[in-house]
Amino acid sequence: MHGTPKVLGTTSQILHNNWKLYFENVRDTYHATLLHTFFTTFRISRLTSEGGVDIAEEFGDDTTTQILSLFPNFVLQQIQNCIALRLVLPRGPDKTELQWTYIGFEDDDADMTALRLGQANLVGPAGYVSMEGGAVGNFIQRAIHGSEEDCSVLEMGDFGHISEHNRTTEASVRSFWRAYRPLMGF
């Protein structure tokens, strides 16, 4: 936050899946290039590419996408110049409310505010990215019913929870569960 923040708008959406599925989604480092074809189609994020979309360089670090998930249910995102806060609210075993608050800064000019709002079309209830994330969580939730006695594990990367030097890893997901399980008495 390089200035005094101001709220540009808020939205809310219901995801028809358990909140844990959403939190695993925002913690893995590779799913955007596999699930969100919008990112790869427009060269915003690919595992093999630096990208190709012009944005306003605002923070001096050439970073175009950051998703910071704070334990247990808060996410801060920067996708291009769209800055948003996400609050993940469990509403039952198969229902999650996701609240979005879009942020700009008091000293933004009209062009920067318009750019932020335009880029906000990637996220939120009708966003190119968020629609896919919500649908996939529901697909997984539906597949779980009737399979309670079965088990399936797919591990990417090493077995540990320490940061790795590539994006094809589950280390951050495993780190989440490593912190969560003792808090819940597991």
Strand order in the sheet with 74-79: 5-15, 95-105, 82-92, 74-79, 65-70
Ramachandran area for residue 154 (φ above 0: left; ψ -120 to 50: alpha; else beta): beta
The confidence score (pLDDT) of residue 164 equals: 65
The confidence score (pLDDT) of residue 51 equals: 38
The confidence score (pLDDT) of residue 100 equals: 92
Q: Which two tokens stand for residue 59?
A: 């923070």
**Contacts for 115 with CB less than 8 Å, ≥ 6 apart:** 55, 56, 81
CATH of 5-149, one of 3.40.50.620, 3.30.70.3040, 3.20.20.80, 3.90.380.10: 3.90.380.10
In this structure, are residues 172 and 157 in contact, taking their beta carbons and an 8 Å threshold?
no
**Contacts for 54 with CB less than 8 Å, ≥ 6 apart:** none
The confidence score (pLDDT) of residue 22 equals: 79
Task: pLDDT tens for the chain, 186 residues: list them.
Answer: 789 999 999 999 899 998 887 777 777 766 666 666 666 666 665 555 443 444 788 888 877 777 888 877 898 988 889 999 999 999 998 999 999 999 999 999 999 999 999 888 888 777 767 777 777 788 888 887 777 777 766 666 666 667 666 666 777 778 778 888 898 898
Please give the full DSSP string across 112-144, using - where no structure is assigned. Answer: HHHHHHHHGGGSSTT-HHHHHHHHHHHHHHHHH
The confidence score (pLDDT) of residue 39 equals: 65
The confidence score (pLDDT) of residue 89 equals: 94
Residue 157: Cβ within 10 Å count: 18
Q: How far apart are the first and last CA of the chain?
A: 37
